[in-house]
Amino acid sequence: MQERIKILVIGSGGREHAIVKECLKSPLTSEVIVAPGNGGMSQDARCLPVDVSDPSAIAKLAKNEAVDFAIIGPEVPLCAGAVNQLEAEDITTFGPNKKAARFEGSKTYTKDFLAKYKIPTARYGNFSEVKPALEYLGTYPEIGRIVVKASGLAAGKGVLIAENRAEAGQFVRDILENRQFGKSGDEIVIEEFMEGRETSLHLLVSGKQFAVLPTSRDHKKIGEGETGPNTGGMGVIAPDPTIPTRILEEIIENIAKPTLSAFQSEEIDYRGILYIGLILTTEGPKVLEFNVRLGDPETQLILPLFEEDTVEVFLAAARGNSLSKYLTPTGQSAITVVLAANGYPDQYETGVPITLDVNLPEGVDVIHAGTKLDSNGILETSGGRVLNIVAKADNAAKAFDKVYSACNHRYFDGQYFRKDIGKPVPTP
């Protein structure tokens, strides 16, 4: 008889809502619970409160609920060691353990790892004191872009692309002296700015093996044509239509395979997702960063783009089993467009009522990110990125038409979205 399992999903964003939807589709699932969840998820699954930065609280909740399988969405619980605590309670868990999660929790560690194994990345220096950091900055031209990063987790805010040495030097001081990011700024990376297109590739990793998820192209700027301030991401297209097969093969040969073999050398038992942020430079693809979890909003469209049951696939990776039969592409394209609150990414209003009384065409889905239920059970906005409209179709052009026809409905007052997500761009 087929096993049926009770699943706990940790997180509260669009990524976790997409994971919950995949779990609910699976014949392996008996029940899904979420902690802490959001307004949309509470309409699909039982939501329970938890402090996601507290691995013991997560493990206690999972044990009390007699969970069979836990899926950890965000980086904070992964870096804090939630997987180790859950596995200590004999709960199979999808996500890298604390040692493996250092690839996101420490940018200095990742840069040294990449350098040690000659995996292509930008020239860099790691520092914990201002004086040597400023001396190193002196090796860069006075005018020109330089990247300064707080090493630890900083919710996407710990990176500056400085336009010149003076600006970079000020950010070095802000992090190391003024403690702008607290402990996350105990160390910094200074690195050269890489010219080129940004893209990303998610690997599903099961110890020694990996399987490749579709490429995806995130759009981080608030404005059309990549203008204005950075956001958590305003939309994604997958597969990335500007990545020729030749470049994908180069990424796999020169980055993914050496990374996996370096994990073995370092005795890192990596199980879960490795999200490789990349720049396609004239010298070939180079690593911008590693993340140890699925991207958000990338998850919302890459999970529906492979044939197999997500729960079966995640279980195989979590158990360290073979992945050879998994991740068959559906051959389709998908686009997700983020509907943001008016004013985002600066000050924005919350508590705005949301209406979802729209007939969505086949292949279109609404995923919740910043939503909650008020005391009367009415759905309202609770964050900057509120909803994700996801459309899947036979090709990118059809997905583009579908997603934007669904965006032209007023879900909440003041909704803002970019109109160019997935619009064809010239191939590099």
Give the footprint of ligand GLY on this chain (CB under 6 A). 218, 233, 291, 295-296, 298
Please state the closest distance from residue 63 (CB atom) to ligand GLY, in A: 29
Pick between residue 298 and residue 380 the one whose CB is nearest to ligand GLY: 298
Please state the closest distance from residue 122 (CB atom) to ligand GLY, in A: 18
Please state the closest distance from residue 75 (CB atom) to ligand GLY, in A: 9
How far apart are alpha carbons 135 and 204 in whole angstroms?
40
Pick between residue 136 and residue 416 the one whose CB is nearest to ligand GLY: 416
The H or E element spanning position 336 is: strand 333-340
Please state the closest distance from residue 264 (CB atom) to ligand GLY, in A: 26
Adjacent-strand bridge partners of 99: none
Pick between residue 300 and residue 332 the one whose CB is nearest to ligand GLY: 300
How far apart are alpha carbons 390 and 367 in whole angstroms?
7
Please state the closest distance from residue 296 (CB atom) to ligand GLY, in A: 5
Are residues 95 and 173 in contact, defined by beta-carbon separation less than 8 angstroms?
A: no
Closest CA to 42 of 20, 64, 62, 68: 20
Pick between residue 194 and residue 338 the one whose CB is nearest to ligand GLY: 338
Q: Residue 253: CB partners within 8 Å, gap ≥ 6?
A: none
Pick between residue 65 and residue 198 the one whose CB is nearest to ligand GLY: 198
Pick between residue 207 and residue 233 the one whose CB is nearest to ligand GLY: 233
- H helices of 138-176, in order, are 165-176
Please state the closest distance from residue 275 (CB atom) to ligand GLY, in A: 7
Closest CA to 34 of 79, 73, 80, 86: 73
How far apart are alpha carbons 87 and 274 in whole angstroms?
20
Pick between residue 55 and residue 295 the one whose CB is nearest to ligand GLY: 295
For 75, phi then psi, to 5°, come to -75, -30
b/e sequence 284-310, b meaning 16+ C-beta within 10 Å: ebbbbbbbbbbbbbbbbbbbbbbeebb
Q: Which residue has tokens 């840069």?
A: 111
Residue nearest to ligand GLY (CB): 295
Are residues 119 and 290 in contact, defined by beta-carbon separation less than 8 angstroms?
A: no
Q: If you compute the radius of gyration of the chain from its CA atoms, what whole number of angstroms results?
A: 21
Pick between residue 238 and residue 406 the one whose CB is nearest to ligand GLY: 238
Pick between residue 172 and residue 302 the one whose CB is nearest to ligand GLY: 302
Are residues 59 and 38 in contact, defined by beta-carbon separation less than 8 angstroms?
A: no
Please state the closest distance from residue 9 (CB atom) to ligand GLY, in A: 17
Please state the closest distance from residue 295 (CB atom) to ligand GLY, in A: 3
Instruction: Assign 338 to helix, strand or coil.
Output: strand
Instruction: Assign 106 to helix, strand or coil.
Output: coil
- In Å, how far from its chain's centre is CA 214? 14
Name the pairing type of β-strands 29-36 and 46-47: parallel
Closest CA to 184 of 154, 155, 223: 154
Pick between residue 37 and residue 73 the one whose CB is nearest to ligand GLY: 73
How far apart are alpha carbons 44 and 30 in whole angstroms?
13
Tokens coding 113:
């790892």
Please state the closest distance from residue 141 (CB atom) to ligand GLY, in A: 30
Please state the closest distance from residue 159 (CB atom) to ligand GLY, in A: 11
